[in-house]
């Protein structure tokens, strides 16, 4: 699959996850650098917001928006990126954000999900809604990495479950 950033074509490595696929239960790092399993964070319907780099404008906007929504909704919203856990802690602290944010520093999710951007060695901007069994019910792989996801469609999908 290909996405883009402006006029630049970006190739995803492998076959990206799709509706009906099980969310890979891989090892990630929490903000304390402790190894955790992604599946341990799926408690009922969950939204997973994936950003390439928290220290960029669009990723910051997306994460801040989902943080606001997490305070309004009854389901968890988990953010995932390739950033160092220290970067995540610093960003959350400077933006007054308190949310579940996991690091795929070891690349297990990137490889298992097919969402690794070959040209950047980072995750592609993606949002998923999974049910309580960890099955993907909605996924948006944002076509242009400069764009934000469609928040309305994400919430609509999560609210239906």
Q: What span, in angstroms and rounded, lies between the C-alpha atoms of 157 and 150?
A: 11
What is the C-alpha to C-alpha distance for residues 15 and 8, in angstroms, rounded to an integer? 20
Q: Which residue has the tokens 């943080």?
A: 67
Give the whole-angstrom CA distance, residue 56 versus residue 20: 31
Per-residue DSSP letter, 74: S
Around Cβ 116, how many Cβ atoms within 10 Å?
Answer: 22
> How far is residue 76 CA from its own chain's centroid?
12
DSSP for 34-52 reads -EEEGGGG--SSEEEEE-S
59 included as an active-site residue:
yes
Catalytic residue (choose from 3, 17, 29, 59) = 59
Closest by Cα among 54, 134, 136, 156 to 99: 54
Which residues are the active-site residues?
59
């Amino acid at each position: 699959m290909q996405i883009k950033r402006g006029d630049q074509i970006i190739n995803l490595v492998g076959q990206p996850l799709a509706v009906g696929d099980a969310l890979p239960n891989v090892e990630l790092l929490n903000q304390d650098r402790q190894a955790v399993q992604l599946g341990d964070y799926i408690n009922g319907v969950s939204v997973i917001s994936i950003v390439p780099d928290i220290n960029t404008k669009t990723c910051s906007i997306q994460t801040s928006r989902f943080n606001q929504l997490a305070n309004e909704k009854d389901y968890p919203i988990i953010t995932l990126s390739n950033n160092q856990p220290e970067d995540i802690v610093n960003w959350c602290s400077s933006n007054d954000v308190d949310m579940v944010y996991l690091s795929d520093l070891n690349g297990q999710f990137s490889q298992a999900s097919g969402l690794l951007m070959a040209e950047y060695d980072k995750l592609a901007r993606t949002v998923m809604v999974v049910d309580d069994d960890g099955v993907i019910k909605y996924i948006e792989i944002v076509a242009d990495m400069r764009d934000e996801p469609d928040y309305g469609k994400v919430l609509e999908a999560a609210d239906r479950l």
